[in-house]
Structure 1
Amino acid sequence: MWVYLLVLLLPACGGRAFNFLGTVMTFYPNETSDDTVVLRYKLAFNECDNISVLECPFANCLLTVVSVDRVDEDSGGEWCLREVVVLVNTSSSKLFELRLTGGQWINVTNGVTDVLAVTHVDVRNRSSVSRANSSPVTTMLPILRVPSNCSMNWTLLTFDPDGDAVRCRFEDITSVLGLSSSCRLTFSPSNNSVEGAYAIQLLMEDFPLQNITVTNGREVDVLGNRISQIPIQFVLMVVPPVASCDAFSPVVLNTTAANGHFFYATVNSTVRLPIFAQSLSVSELLFCGPSSMNKTITEGRFELSWRPSDSDLGRSHPVCFVIQSTGESENNLQSELRCVFVVVERVLAVLKAGLISQGSLSMEFLREVFLPQLRTKLVEQGWPRSFTLRLGNITLET
């Protein structure tokens, strides 16, 4: 039995439009129900009102849309990004496949037309973490831009809630980009880098660090290979060359959080992500993150702010952003891609501690020796045993 779910609708006069720009899917078990899994994914089109069909090709599958919300859109009307949250009933199977279809890609140079994004879902209980499996977590902007004469690198966010190794590979071979298994994309100028749009289709997979057992009722399997798989699809826009690859704007300054940085937040408390860049007057901030995230320009800087709700608790939410030049030209330039995580926890306390040492202190020592000792002392002083202790800002004084 094939079950279909239409999550976004075309206008009545619409047809099979060529306006798809990409998607990223992630899933995790629903903590309030053992028989459902939460599928959270981003959808990008030229316009906000477009068609997308989610297919569930197994018997007795029930799909329920929880929300469809706008995330961000560029000022030139080139793309609109939405976040869709769907509950999938898993009472008949903990191992299945979901397919996103419907519509067609924008006109791209590498000949991709029909939309197809496949997620391999495995929410069987794992021996390594004593709970149901979750997919890797990542996100991506709908369009990345690069001048045809410049080299560029993009490192995708890679995080797995179960502690698995995360790897990337192409779903189809493309000559315009390179990709390492560690999820680093590279663009190098060559005779193949023809200006235009390219549909990029990647797969991100999680691999256990050692053999584990997974259970589904009475069935028990031993896994050492890939567990789950999510699609990452977006458009690479190769634009005309620039005069200097070392000095084209806009630029994200080093005072902005580094790629892969973790921010920590609590429910109903606003977390702020300051972004410092050059040429604010001719640039805009574009991002992919939670649908309720806001962007502003304050005190000469960009800022993303977000107030997590109860449904965000316990999750690591990826956020990616670029600064893009604005104007009438379709060849607007982008800064480097920066991506961070916002981890939503139940309680967040800031503890200032001092440590006196006659020699130099390494980060490994602080994590492996100092933090466990500090944790033991805090528990002895009456702190609950179920808390996480992490390093924050470190200041060295002589």
Structure 2
Amino acid sequence: MASTKVLLLQLLLVSVISVVSASHYWGASTTFTYKGNNSDGTHKVRFRYRDTFDQCFWSLSWRCTSGNCGYVSGSKRTVIDSSNNGPKFDRLLCETETVVTRNVPSDKPFQLRADSCCWIGTRNWVVHWDVLTGVDLGKRSDTGEPNKSPDVTILPFLRIPQNCPRTYKLMTFDPDGDDVRCRYGNLRNIECSRCDRPAGFHLDEDSCTLHYISSTANPKVFGFEMMVEDYSKGHINLFYSDGSWSHRHPWPRRRSKRAVSYPTTAARPWWIPAATPWPTTTTMTTTQRPITPYAPTPPLSQLPLQFSFLVDPPAPSCVEGVYLPKLVHPTPIHGEKIHAEVDSSMEIRVKAQASLAVIQGIIISGPSNVTKHKTTHNEFVIRWTPTADDLGEFFPICFAVESATGPGVIRPPVAIHSHSHSHFHPTPTSRSGLYHSEMRCVVVEVKRKIVQSHVICNESSMTILVEKASFSRLSEDHLRLNDPSNTICNLTSNSTHVIGVVPLNQCGTQIEEDDDNLIFKNEITTYEDMRNVITRKHLLEVRFYCQYPKHGKVSQSFSVHRKNVTVWEKGMGTFTYGFEFYEDNSYRAMINPNSYPLEVEIGTELYMKIEATSSINNTEMFVESCRAAPYDNPNYRKPYIIIANGCKVDPTVDIYPRAHNKQFLFSMEAFKFIGLHDQILH
């Protein structure tokens, strides 16, 4: 009698994405931070190199070309963002950040350079790239410390319809409060390759503002080769350890203003008939001021800023919120300063709307380990957790939202109301296009953790513990959760901590989800009167959340009974799943685990149930895939596929109605692998 043992059933809820690309350059930027002296007397300088290529493993190779650049003592590279929405012939792009620590023996100025080939296809004939970083570690007379470079960030790829003028305020925050200027590179083969000033653009060097005025559409990009430099606002000296010094004075002050107008082509909306009169020009104004007579001064630092800019065919409308995404609340304003704490996650919420296009995604640029997610509230969330090494530094984060139109792109349903009911009709768009919103950038300042707290996540609740000693004014008598109306939502305390045990479904806990996680949020805030919903003495706000992965693995075996297998992520919450076998399709009599391992004949019907033990409402069990292997190895190279993408592949599989959404009931006929394998692992 042939028999078989079913040893492991594995549900794989993991999606794998892979891309293939080739090597080309989109742009780069650099910042640096003085991190103090090492024990051997050398100076520690941390560089952040952001490079964008069309593969994620490429990065620039820097070399010392002037002064004593010391040596590299540490380097780490991470992917910041990637996209396949580039120009027609170079769709893939990937931005990485390489954090490099150099130990420099001298505080005298030095320069680093990188150059090679080749840019992606550019319409202004930029082929090779040349980038320069200039550092001066002399001690400033106004701060008593070496100069801090500006924090420079721009999205490495920008796009605009040819008929839509737009202004881009480049993010150039300076920690020392210096004046920051942006200019086109002018030293060929050092600061730039062609040192080109793209036609159709105007750069206001004093404010680091780039104006797109007009150009023709082209599938190739403009390659921008720019430099960012900082200048003290007052007269200062830089002192060096060898006893020498140098003087710096402000950039020449500006006195008067005069307006400069730029004629631009206005877009005729596609729905306006050609015979209808329509304005053909608009006026954009910038300013120039005559300078004072004394000569410019050397900059305190020099940083490269290179990026790609694509001019697309005309848009039917340049009004933001129609085709071009319009950023709306709660999106922060450009230049907003956000505070973050060491080892605490911070988030930036971004939302956009476009009535005749579909909001498709978000592109970002920021520090290493920054992430982006789209929530079920049609918002994008940018998250970042600074480390102790980031304390006291400033980190810019830039973003823009993408929208899309064209065949196959479905706009959100439009409600058509009648007297008794509503009908919803998805409306396909008829014109093709990809559009960027305006670019906004914020600055994140990293501070010490003010209030020490800790969150514990389990399957039905979150536990928040706040140290009393870390906040001297902390009193549990004036602290509350989002919704304290239920007695179960009261905070308690002991001699050292204020404690809250918060159910995932109560106390005002908010739930959101993205592609990979369920996120439960709440907060502890101060109050004056429990009867009031407002306060004017908001001394404390401790926000906390638990994040649960929506994808996981669960397994079961005939040879050894496993009661439950827990899905977990480091630092996250956990969900638990039960996996049992039953005698028939009524699912009333569970097979006694003590009778394992079971021996069954080939062709025997096996009845199985998987059930989530979580008490969270509005969630559903979904089995994405199921496969079998002759060994207890989930990565076995030639598994037998039973279920794939939620659909039955094995012809003997039957799926049965379930009592609730947290169950999955199914059966299949037992089988045997060909060969010497008597045991089968699912």
Q: TM-score, normalised by structure 1?
A: 0.79
- 1:18 Cα shift? 6.0
1:206-233 Cα shifts (integer Å, max 9, x gaps): 0111111101111111111221111111
Residue from 250, 254, 266 that aligns with 2:325: 250
Residue from 2, 9, 30 that aligns with 2:35: 30
For residues 234 and 315 of structure 1, the distance between their equivalents in structure 2, rounded to whole angstroms, comes to 24
For residues 112 and 27 of structure 2, the distance between their equivalents in structure 1, rounded to whole angstroms, comes to 16
SS in 2 for 1:222: strand
Letter of the aligned partner of 2:245 in structure 1? Answer: V
Deviates more, 1:333-342 or 1:51-60: 51-60
Residue 312 of structure 1 corresponds to which residue in structure 2? 390
Contact 1:250–1:283 (8 Å) recurs in 2: no
Residue from 350, 353, 356 that aligns with 1:275: 350
Structure 1 residues 80 and 331: alpha-carbon distance in aligned structure 2, compared to 1, 3 A threshold? farther
Letter of the aligned partner of 2:312 in structure 1? Answer: V
- 1:180 Cα shift? 0.3
- 1:61 Cα shift? 3.0
Letter of the aligned partner of 2:36 in structure 1? Answer: E
Residue 106 of structure 1 corresponds to which residue in structure 2? 120
Letter of the aligned partner of 2:34 in structure 1? Answer: P
Aligned pairs for 1:1-398 (under 5 A) are 19-31=24-36, 33=38, 34-57=42-65, 58-59=67-68, 61-76=70-85, 78-171=92-185, 172=195, 173-181=197-205, 182-190=207-215, 196-217=220-241, 218-224=243-249, 225=297, 226-246=299-319, 247-278=322-353, 282-298=359-375, 299-326=377-404, 332-348=434-450
SS in 2 for 1:109: coil
Any unmatched runs of 5+ in structure 2? 1-20, 86-90, 186-194, 250-296, 408-431, 452-470, 474-534, 537-682
Letter of the aligned partner of 2:302 in structure 1? Answer: Q
For residues 202 and 218 of structure 2, the distance between their equivalents in structure 1, rounded to whole angstroms, comes to 15
SS in 1 for 2:435: coil
Contact 1:66–1:85 (8 Å) recurs in 2: yes
Structure 1 residues 347 and 89: alpha-carbon distance in aligned structure 2, compared to 1, 3 A threshold? same
Contact 1:22–1:43 (8 Å) recurs in 2: yes
- 1:93 Cα shift? 4.9
For residues 305 and 197 of structure 1, the distance between their equivalents in structure 2, rounded to whole angstroms, comes to 30
- 1:69 Cα shift? 0.6
For residues 336 and 159 of structure 1, the distance between their equivalents in structure 2, rounded to whole angstroms, comes to 19
For residues 351 and 144 of structure 1, the distance between their equivalents in structure 2, rounded to whole angstroms, comes to 48
Contact 1:55–1:101 (8 Å) recurs in 2: no
Structure 1 residues 60 and 46: alpha-carbon distance in aligned structure 2, compared to 1, 3 A threshold? closer
Contact 1:138–1:318 (8 Å) recurs in 2: yes
- 1:254 Cα shift? 4.3
For residues 92 and 187 of structure 1, the distance between their equivalents in structure 2, rounded to whole angstroms, comes to 43
Residue 367 of structure 1 corresponds to which residue in structure 2? none
For residues 166 and 109 of structure 1, the distance between their equivalents in structure 2, rounded to whole angstroms, comes to 29
For residues 200 and 140 of structure 2, the distance between their equivalents in structure 1, rounded to whole angstroms, comes to 38
Contact 1:42–1:83 (8 Å) recurs in 2: yes
Letter of the aligned partner of 1:277 in structure 2? Answer: A
- 1:86 Cα shift? 1.1
Contact 1:51–1:103 (8 Å) recurs in 2: no
Which of 1 and 2 has greater Rg?
A: 2
- 1:249 Cα shift? 2.7
SS in 1 for 2:61: strand
Structure 1 residues 201 and 339: alpha-carbon distance in aligned structure 2, compared to 1, 3 A threshold? same
Provide the alpha-carbon RMSD of the alignment. Answer: 2.6
1:243-273 Cα shifts (integer Å, max 9, x gaps): 1111323221143100000110110111110
SS in 1 for 2:173: coil
For residues 329 and 439 of structure 2, the distance between their equivalents in structure 1, rounded to whole angstroms, comes to 13
- 1:162 Cα shift? 1.4
Deviates more, 1:104-113 or 1:24-33: 24-33
For residues 154 and 244 of structure 2, the distance between their equivalents in structure 1, rounded to whole angstroms, comes to 36
SS in 2 for 1:132: coil
For residues 110 and 158 of structure 1, the distance between their equivalents in structure 2, rounded to whole angstroms, comes to 25
Percent identity between matched residues is: 30
For residues 264 and 186 of structure 1, the distance between their equivalents in structure 2, rounded to whole angstroms, comes to 30
1:33-56 Cα shifts (integer Å, max 9, x gaps): 352211112100011122521011
Letter of the aligned partner of 1:43 in structure 2? Answer: D
- 1:193 Cα shift? 6.5
1:338-391 Cα shifts (integer Å, max 9, x gaps): 100111011447999xxxxxxxxxxxxxxxxxxxxxxxxxxxxxxxxxxxxxxx
Aligned residues: 338
For residues 472 and 121 of structure 2, the distance between their equivalents in structure 1, rounded to whole angstroms, comes to 53
Deviates more, 1:53-62 or 1:96-105: 53-62
For residues 268 and 156 of structure 1, the distance between their equivalents in structure 2, rounded to whole angstroms, comes to 28
Residue 9 of structure 1 corresponds to which residue in structure 2? none
Contact 2:139–2:146 (8 Å) recurs in 1: yes
Q: TM-score, normalised by structure 2?
A: 0.47
For residues 110 and 82 of structure 1, the distance between their equivalents in structure 2, rounded to whole angstroms, comes to 25
SS in 1 for 2:441: strand
